[in-house]
Amino acid sequence: MTTPAVMGVDSSTQSCKVEIRDLASGNILGSGAAPHPPAFPPCSEQHPRDWVAALVAAAGQAMAACAERPDIRAISVAAQCHGLVLLDAQGEVLRAAKLWNDTTGAPNLARLVERIGARRWVMRIGTLPTAAFTIAKLAWVAEHEPGLLDRVDTMLLPHDYLTFWLTGEKVTDRSEASGTGYFDAVEGQWIPSYLEVAAGSRDWAAKLPTVLGPTDAAGRVLPARAALLGIGDDVVVGAGGGDQHAAYLGLGLTDGDQYFSIGTSGVVATSSRGPVFDTTGAVDGVADMTGGYLPLMSTLNAARVVDRAAVLLGTDLAGISELALAAGPTQGPVLVPFLDGERTPDRPDARGAVADLTSGSTREELARAFVEGPLLSLMSGRDSLLACGVEMTGAATAVGGGARSPATLQLLADLLDDEVTVPDVDEATARGACIQAAAVASHADRAGLVDLAKRWQPDARTRVEPRSHGRDLPALRARWASLAASPLLDGGGR
């Protein structure tokens, strides 16, 4: 007898990762991964056909890794947020998708903020959009490729497209829709009038996907797609969600818990039952995958900053970590990590800067500055969440590639003056997608989804306590904030 199982997909900027888990216990049965083409700002694009190819390859690996062939009952797809996928009337992709970290629409977004009004926009959707948001990318297409809009029949997000490829259904979920710039999560309604401001008068409502609830089914996998994936013909597909939203669900976190994701982007978040409206624009009051909200602050520059440090200092990531932990109880140099522009604060033309270098500065201090800079960005975001009245008294959890660095974990614990836990999870986003798929396969309601996430909650892999370090961290944070606010960071050359 084959084992009833679910498949969770994480289609990120870098790759597609697939997990297969036992439907009853949540135990992992197999996993696989396949890369996506590299994409970097300012013009960051990938073609959706490459996502499909990676999904097929990763799913094949995951199926082959199972000890016995699993009986896949449901699939859910989580993916990078905000990207713009345009389809024609035949469902064919019209152009490469503009990704979340494509900043070419920044001037278009600035004009949209002037026309719609920053406060009005925040109070309608919970967020002041940046160049990362889908609406900025649509406005860019309207300006630079206006003829293309005449052929657009459907606008989707990355996870929507993979769900469409699987099922033929044009659907999305609240978590992803709330990151577009034209969805009211409180009312559960699209705002076509904002699309008219961005790209002219058209029947935009007809071009938008149906927004599903947390445990709604999108449809069933088409036979031809099932054959490519090596699964059966009667597999239901969940609504899916955004990558960070799925990761939060996959970790079994609840309201008030402190979530730090340190990957290509950096994210600090928690969940809440009520909406959050931040008129400063620092906090995105987006929806989560359980019917509530996931107020968060997201940065463009996170783990790649440390990658660059390794190149500049002539070592590897382990070497950077060792150097950073060896730095003495000095304040040392301070890094503002806006290497590729920045999303929060919304400064797409900004560049990074190192300050407070002296003739006595050491290699160890410089390594620490590169590790610490992205964390100081996230701490600033945490301050913004607290300023919105969001409760953040729960445990601190760190995930993402950057959380593999001992120095990153130690410096984060020092900055928080609290324990930081790394869960025993390799792929939190794929795990969250599996949880949603299991809820859909089990016909669970929203409460059942939350209960399932708690039952599948992973154990801790690592716990890191703050050190007695002898540094004046409040002064360090104040110095960083002063430097980060400097207009001199904008418009620098490469």
pLDDT tens digit sequence for 279-334: 998 999 999 999 999 999 999 899 999 999 999 999 999 999 999 999 999 999 99
Going by pLDDT thresholds of 50, 70 and 90, the confidence category of residue 348 is: confident
Exposed e or buried b per residue across 432-470, where buried means at least 16 C-beta atoms within 10 angstroms of its C-beta:
bbbbbbbbbbbebeeeebbebbeebbbeeeeebebeeee
Cα 18 from Cα 426, distance rounded (Å): 11
- Helix, strand or coil, per DSSP, at residue 261: strand
Q: What is the mean pLDDT of the chain?
A: 95
Q: Model confidence over 189-234: pLDDT tens digits?
A: 999 999 999 999 999 999 999 999 999 999 999 999 999 999 998 9
User: For the chain, what is the radius of gyration of the CA atoms?
Assistant: 22
Going by pLDDT thresholds of 50, 70 and 90, the confidence category of residue 255 is: very high
Going by pLDDT thresholds of 50, 70 and 90, the confidence category of residue 235 is: very high
- Give the active site residue among 243, 278, 284, 288: 243
Cis peptide before 48 (omega within 30 of 0): no
Segments making up each domain of the chain, as ranges: 4-245, 252-424+459-494
Write out the CATH class of domain 4-245. alpha beta
| pLDDT confidence of residue 316 | 97
pLDDT exceeds 70 at position 1: no
Read off φ and ψ for residue 24, nearest 5 degrees: -85, -45
Read off φ and ψ for residue 3, nearest 5 degrees: -90, 125
Tell me if 4-245 shares its fold with 252-424+459-494: yes
Contacts of 148 (CB under 8 A, 6+ apart): 86, 94, 95, 141
- Residue type present at position 432: G
Kind of pairing, strands 420-423 and 396-399? parallel
Q: Model confidence over 26-81: pLDDT tens digits?
A: 999 999 999 999 998 899 999 999 999 999 999 999 999 999 999 999 999 999 99
| pLDDT confidence of residue 39 | 93
pLDDT exceeds 70 at position 493: no
Contact between 290 and 449 under an 8 Å Cβ cutoff? The reply is: yes
For the chain, what percent of residues have pLDDT higher than 70? Answer: 99
Superfamily of domain 252-424+459-494: ATPase, nucleotide binding domain (3.30.420.40)
Read off φ and ψ for residue 448, nearest 5 degrees: -65, -35
Q: Which two tokens stand for residue 16?
A: 């597609």
* Sign of the CA dihedral running 9, 242, 130, 381: negative
Active site residue 243: yes
Cα 101 from Cα 125, distance rounded (Å): 21
